[in-house]
Amino acid sequence: MLSHSCVPPFLPVGLSQTAERNTKVRASKLLAIWGFLLSASRPVGVTEMLILGESLNLTSPQSVYLYLRAMTEMGVVRAYPATEGTHRKLYSGVFPPTLTELDRQMLAHWIDSAVCESCVGQVRARFLGNCPIEQADHRHLPLLPAGTRETIRRIDRLHEPKVRQIWGELISSEDSFSLAQVLRICADTEEVLSSQTIGHYVRAMRGVGLIQVAKYARGIGKIYQGRFPPHTGRADIAALALWLRSLPLERARVVRYRAAAHVNLPSLRSVEAMTAGDVGSHGGQEAKV
Protein backbone atom coordinates (compact mmCIF):
# COMPACT_ATOMS: atom_id res chain seq x y z
CA MET A 1 0.00 0.00 0.00
CA LEU A 2 1.38 3.37 -0.99
CA SER A 3 2.05 5.87 1.76
CA HIS A 4 1.19 8.71 -0.62
CA SER A 5 0.18 9.45 -4.18
CA CYS A 6 0.99 12.10 -6.73
CA VAL A 7 -2.16 14.04 -7.54
CA PRO A 8 -2.82 15.17 -11.14
CA PRO A 9 -3.30 18.95 -11.29
CA PHE A 10 -6.48 18.84 -13.37
CA LEU A 11 -9.16 16.60 -14.85
CA PRO A 12 -9.02 16.17 -18.64
CA VAL A 13 -11.20 18.41 -20.80
CA GLY A 14 -14.82 17.24 -20.75
CA LEU A 15 -14.39 15.19 -17.59
CA SER A 16 -14.29 18.31 -15.43
CA GLN A 17 -17.74 19.25 -16.73
CA THR A 18 -18.98 15.74 -15.98
CA ALA A 19 -17.65 16.05 -12.43
CA GLU A 20 -19.34 19.42 -11.97
CA ARG A 21 -22.70 17.95 -13.03
CA ASN A 22 -22.41 15.20 -10.40
CA THR A 23 -23.28 17.07 -7.21
CA LYS A 24 -22.39 14.07 -5.03
CA VAL A 25 -18.66 14.20 -5.78
CA ARG A 26 -15.95 16.85 -5.54
CA ALA A 27 -13.26 17.34 -8.17
CA SER A 28 -10.48 17.64 -5.55
CA LYS A 29 -11.35 14.22 -4.12
CA LEU A 30 -11.65 12.71 -7.60
CA LEU A 31 -8.14 13.93 -8.39
CA ALA A 32 -6.72 12.56 -5.12
CA ILE A 33 -8.24 9.10 -5.72
CA TRP A 34 -7.18 9.13 -9.38
CA GLY A 35 -3.61 9.99 -8.43
CA PHE A 36 -3.56 7.26 -5.80
CA LEU A 37 -4.74 4.61 -8.28
CA LEU A 38 -2.42 5.81 -11.05
CA SER A 39 0.51 5.49 -8.62
CA ALA A 40 -0.39 2.04 -7.27
CA SER A 41 1.74 -0.88 -8.42
CA ARG A 42 -1.33 -3.14 -8.67
CA PRO A 43 -5.12 -2.89 -8.64
CA VAL A 44 -6.39 -2.25 -5.10
CA GLY A 45 -9.58 -2.93 -3.21
CA VAL A 46 -11.95 -0.67 -1.32
CA THR A 47 -10.58 -1.75 2.07
CA GLU A 48 -7.13 -0.44 1.14
CA MET A 49 -8.62 2.73 -0.29
CA LEU A 50 -10.35 3.50 3.00
CA ILE A 51 -6.92 4.41 4.40
CA LEU A 52 -6.67 7.12 1.77
CA GLY A 53 -10.35 7.93 2.28
CA GLU A 54 -9.78 8.94 5.89
CA SER A 55 -7.70 11.90 4.74
CA LEU A 56 -10.49 12.88 2.32
CA ASN A 57 -13.31 12.45 4.85
CA LEU A 58 -14.53 9.35 3.02
CA THR A 59 -14.87 7.05 5.99
CA SER A 60 -17.23 4.33 4.76
CA PRO A 61 -17.07 1.82 1.88
CA GLN A 62 -20.26 3.38 0.50
CA SER A 63 -18.64 6.81 0.19
CA VAL A 64 -15.61 5.31 -1.59
CA TYR A 65 -17.86 3.30 -3.92
CA LEU A 66 -19.71 6.51 -4.83
CA TYR A 67 -16.48 8.01 -6.17
CA LEU A 68 -15.31 4.80 -7.83
CA ARG A 69 -18.58 4.45 -9.73
CA ALA A 70 -18.39 8.04 -10.91
CA MET A 71 -14.76 7.64 -11.96
CA THR A 72 -15.44 4.37 -13.77
CA GLU A 73 -18.13 6.11 -15.80
CA MET A 74 -15.66 8.92 -16.58
CA GLY A 75 -13.09 6.41 -17.83
CA VAL A 76 -10.32 7.22 -15.33
CA VAL A 77 -10.78 4.03 -13.27
CA ARG A 78 -11.14 0.44 -14.41
CA ALA A 79 -12.62 -2.30 -12.23
CA TYR A 80 -11.63 -5.97 -12.25
CA PRO A 81 -13.07 -9.01 -10.45
CA ALA A 82 -10.84 -9.76 -7.48
CA THR A 83 -11.33 -13.54 -7.57
CA GLU A 84 -13.38 -15.97 -9.56
CA GLY A 85 -16.93 -16.41 -8.29
CA THR A 86 -17.04 -13.34 -6.03
CA HIS A 87 -18.47 -9.86 -6.43
CA ARG A 88 -15.48 -8.11 -4.82
CA LYS A 89 -13.61 -5.88 -7.23
CA LEU A 90 -10.17 -4.35 -7.54
CA TYR A 91 -9.59 -0.91 -9.06
CA SER A 92 -6.83 0.62 -11.13
CA GLY A 93 -6.28 4.13 -12.46
CA VAL A 94 -6.12 4.72 -16.21
CA PHE A 95 -5.83 7.62 -18.59
CA PRO A 96 -9.03 7.88 -20.65
CA PRO A 97 -8.83 7.33 -24.42
CA THR A 98 -10.60 10.68 -24.95
CA LEU A 99 -7.59 12.80 -23.98
CA THR A 100 -7.14 15.84 -26.21
CA GLU A 101 -3.71 16.78 -27.52
CA LEU A 102 -3.58 19.62 -24.98
CA ASP A 103 -4.49 17.17 -22.19
CA ARG A 104 -1.65 14.87 -23.25
CA GLN A 105 0.90 17.70 -23.40
CA MET A 106 -0.05 19.01 -19.96
CA LEU A 107 -0.14 15.54 -18.38
CA ALA A 108 3.22 14.64 -19.94
CA HIS A 109 4.71 17.83 -18.44
CA TRP A 110 3.22 16.94 -15.04
CA ILE A 111 4.67 13.43 -15.17
CA ASP A 112 8.12 14.65 -16.20
CA SER A 113 8.34 17.58 -13.78
CA ALA A 114 6.15 16.93 -10.73
CA VAL A 115 5.59 13.21 -10.13
CA CYS A 116 7.91 11.84 -7.45
CA GLU A 117 10.55 9.19 -8.12
CA SER A 118 8.62 6.39 -6.39
CA CYS A 119 5.46 7.00 -8.45
CA VAL A 120 6.74 8.10 -11.85
CA GLY A 121 7.34 4.58 -13.24
CA GLN A 122 3.75 3.49 -12.70
CA VAL A 123 2.20 6.76 -13.84
CA ARG A 124 4.31 6.99 -17.00
CA ALA A 125 3.63 3.34 -17.91
CA ARG A 126 -0.09 3.98 -17.68
CA PHE A 127 0.21 7.23 -19.64
CA LEU A 128 2.15 5.60 -22.49
CA GLY A 129 0.09 2.45 -22.55
CA ASN A 130 -3.36 3.69 -21.49
CA CYS A 131 -3.76 0.58 -19.36
CA PRO A 132 -2.90 -0.58 -15.85
CA ILE A 133 0.29 -2.35 -14.91
CA GLU A 134 -0.45 -5.42 -12.84
CA GLN A 135 3.01 -6.47 -11.71
CA ALA A 136 4.76 -4.78 -8.77
CA ASP A 137 8.18 -5.32 -10.41
CA HIS A 138 7.31 -2.78 -13.14
CA ARG A 139 8.02 -5.24 -15.94
CA HIS A 140 6.52 -4.34 -19.28
CA LEU A 141 3.53 -6.17 -20.65
CA PRO A 142 2.70 -6.02 -24.37
CA LEU A 143 -0.18 -3.84 -25.46
CA LEU A 144 -2.94 -5.75 -27.20
CA PRO A 145 -3.83 -4.72 -30.77
CA ALA A 146 -6.51 -2.03 -30.61
CA GLY A 147 -9.37 -4.04 -32.11
CA THR A 148 -8.54 -7.06 -29.96
CA ARG A 149 -8.30 -4.93 -26.82
CA GLU A 150 -11.82 -3.58 -27.25
CA THR A 151 -13.20 -7.10 -27.75
CA ILE A 152 -11.36 -8.46 -24.70
CA ARG A 153 -12.80 -5.69 -22.51
CA ARG A 154 -16.33 -6.73 -23.47
CA ILE A 155 -15.84 -10.36 -22.37
CA ASP A 156 -16.92 -11.13 -18.82
CA ARG A 157 -14.44 -12.46 -16.25
CA LEU A 158 -11.29 -11.46 -18.15
CA HIS A 159 -8.61 -9.34 -16.47
CA GLU A 160 -6.88 -7.48 -19.32
CA PRO A 161 -3.37 -7.37 -17.73
CA LYS A 162 -3.55 -11.14 -17.27
CA VAL A 163 -4.46 -11.57 -20.95
CA ARG A 164 -1.45 -9.40 -21.81
CA GLN A 165 0.77 -11.44 -19.50
CA ILE A 166 -0.25 -14.75 -21.10
CA TRP A 167 0.03 -13.36 -24.63
CA GLY A 168 3.44 -11.80 -23.95
CA GLU A 169 4.83 -15.12 -22.75
CA LEU A 170 3.39 -17.17 -25.60
CA ILE A 171 4.14 -14.69 -28.41
CA SER A 172 7.81 -14.35 -27.39
CA SER A 173 8.57 -18.02 -26.76
CA GLU A 174 9.56 -20.67 -29.29
CA ASP A 175 7.89 -23.25 -27.07
CA SER A 176 4.29 -24.41 -27.19
CA PHE A 177 2.24 -24.50 -23.98
CA SER A 178 -0.27 -26.89 -22.51
CA LEU A 179 -3.18 -25.61 -20.46
CA ALA A 180 -1.28 -26.51 -17.27
CA GLN A 181 1.77 -24.55 -18.46
CA VAL A 182 -0.38 -21.52 -19.24
CA LEU A 183 -1.73 -21.75 -15.69
CA ARG A 184 1.84 -21.67 -14.34
CA ILE A 185 2.52 -18.44 -16.24
CA CYS A 186 0.00 -16.76 -13.93
CA ALA A 187 1.34 -18.34 -10.74
CA ASP A 188 3.18 -15.14 -9.74
CA THR A 189 0.01 -13.06 -9.54
CA GLU A 190 -2.09 -12.57 -6.43
CA GLU A 191 -5.25 -13.86 -8.04
CA VAL A 192 -5.43 -17.65 -7.71
CA LEU A 193 -6.63 -19.18 -10.96
CA SER A 194 -8.13 -22.60 -11.57
CA SER A 195 -7.84 -24.74 -14.68
CA GLN A 196 -11.44 -23.79 -15.46
CA THR A 197 -10.61 -20.09 -15.32
CA ILE A 198 -7.52 -20.51 -17.48
CA GLY A 199 -9.65 -22.48 -19.93
CA HIS A 200 -11.93 -19.45 -20.16
CA TYR A 201 -8.95 -17.19 -20.87
CA VAL A 202 -7.53 -19.52 -23.51
CA ARG A 203 -10.85 -19.90 -25.32
CA ALA A 204 -11.36 -16.14 -25.36
CA MET A 205 -7.81 -15.50 -26.58
CA ARG A 206 -8.20 -18.10 -29.33
CA GLY A 207 -11.45 -16.44 -30.33
CA VAL A 208 -9.77 -13.06 -30.90
CA GLY A 209 -6.67 -14.53 -32.57
CA LEU A 210 -4.05 -14.01 -29.84
CA ILE A 211 -3.20 -17.72 -29.59
CA GLN A 212 -3.67 -20.78 -31.77
CA VAL A 213 -3.57 -24.55 -31.36
CA ALA A 214 -0.15 -25.79 -32.46
CA LYS A 215 -0.84 -29.51 -32.03
CA TYR A 216 -2.66 -32.10 -29.96
CA ALA A 217 -0.54 -34.14 -27.53
CA ARG A 218 -1.84 -37.50 -26.42
CA GLY A 219 -2.54 -37.53 -22.70
CA ILE A 220 -2.09 -33.76 -22.47
CA GLY A 221 -4.56 -32.24 -24.87
CA LYS A 222 -4.24 -29.13 -27.00
CA ILE A 223 -0.89 -27.34 -27.13
CA TYR A 224 -0.93 -23.58 -27.78
CA GLN A 225 1.31 -20.96 -29.39
CA GLY A 226 1.08 -17.18 -29.44
CA ARG A 227 0.19 -15.35 -32.62
CA PHE A 228 -0.72 -11.91 -33.92
CA PRO A 229 -4.37 -11.40 -34.86
CA PRO A 230 -4.82 -10.98 -38.64
CA HIS A 231 -6.09 -7.40 -38.26
CA THR A 232 -2.91 -6.24 -36.43
CA GLY A 233 -1.78 -2.96 -37.97
CA ARG A 234 1.27 -0.73 -38.09
CA ALA A 235 0.15 1.34 -35.10
CA ASP A 236 -0.32 -1.85 -33.05
CA ILE A 237 3.24 -2.94 -33.82
CA ALA A 238 4.64 0.50 -33.03
CA ALA A 239 2.87 0.38 -29.64
CA LEU A 240 4.95 -2.68 -28.71
CA ALA A 241 8.24 -0.73 -28.83
CA LEU A 242 8.81 -0.39 -25.07
CA TRP A 243 7.90 -4.01 -24.41
CA LEU A 244 10.15 -5.32 -27.21
CA ARG A 245 13.11 -3.37 -25.86
CA SER A 246 12.61 -4.96 -22.45
CA LEU A 247 12.91 -8.50 -23.87
CA PRO A 248 16.05 -10.62 -24.20
CA LEU A 249 17.25 -10.57 -27.80
CA GLU A 250 16.18 -14.15 -28.58
CA ARG A 251 12.63 -13.50 -27.39
CA ALA A 252 12.45 -10.30 -29.45
CA ARG A 253 13.47 -12.33 -32.50
CA VAL A 254 10.64 -14.78 -31.85
CA VAL A 255 8.17 -11.88 -31.75
CA ARG A 256 9.56 -10.65 -35.07
CA TYR A 257 9.17 -14.10 -36.59
CA ARG A 258 5.58 -14.40 -35.43
CA ALA A 259 4.82 -10.91 -36.74
CA ALA A 260 6.15 -11.97 -40.14
CA ALA A 261 3.72 -14.87 -40.18
CA HIS A 262 0.61 -12.78 -39.51
CA VAL A 263 1.33 -9.08 -40.19
CA ASN A 264 1.92 -7.20 -43.44
CA LEU A 265 5.44 -6.18 -44.48
CA PRO A 266 5.28 -2.45 -43.54
CA SER A 267 4.38 -3.43 -39.99
CA LEU A 268 7.20 -5.98 -39.93
CA ARG A 269 9.73 -3.25 -40.76
CA SER A 270 8.57 -1.50 -37.60
CA VAL A 271 9.39 -4.64 -35.63
CA GLU A 272 12.84 -4.78 -37.21
CA ALA A 273 13.52 -1.20 -36.16
CA MET A 274 12.49 -1.98 -32.59
CA THR A 275 14.73 -5.03 -32.27
CA ALA A 276 17.87 -3.75 -33.98
CA GLY A 277 20.55 -1.19 -33.36
CA ASP A 278 19.79 -0.12 -29.77
CA VAL A 279 22.82 -0.26 -27.49
CA GLY A 280 21.65 -1.07 -24.00
CA SER A 281 18.48 -2.84 -25.10
CA HIS A 282 17.89 -6.51 -24.40
CA GLY A 283 19.89 -6.73 -21.22
CA GLY A 284 22.76 -4.54 -22.38
CA GLN A 285 23.40 -6.31 -25.69
CA GLU A 286 23.54 -4.56 -29.02
CA ALA A 287 20.76 -6.07 -31.09
CA LYS A 288 21.82 -6.96 -34.63
CA VAL A 289 19.03 -8.75 -36.41
CA 101 from chain centre, in angstroms, equals 22
The CATH number for 15-129, chosen from 1.10.10.10, 2.40.50.140, 3.10.20.600, 1.20.1290.10, is 1.10.10.10
Residue ranges of domains in the chain: 15-129, 146-226, 234-276
Decide if pLDDT at 239 tops 50: yes
CB of 206 closer than 8 Å to CB of 229: no
For the residues 184-200, what does the mean pLDDT come to?
69
Give the CB-side neighbour count of residue 169, counting CA atoms within 13 A. Answer: 16
For the residues 151-169, what does the mean pLDDT come to?
85
CB of 58 closer than 8 Å to CB of 14: no
SS (H, E, C) 196-257: HHHHHHHHHHHHCCCEEEEEEECCCEEEEEECCCCCCCHHHHHCCHHHHHHCCHHHHHHHHH
146-226 belongs to CATH 3.10.20.30: no
Tens of pLDDT, residues 83-141 = 544 457 888 888 887 778 888 888 888 988 888 888 887 788 788 764 443 333 334 67
Query: Which of these ranges, 9-18, 199-208, 272-281, has the smallest mean pLDDT?
Result: 272-281
Position 173 scores a pLDDT of 92
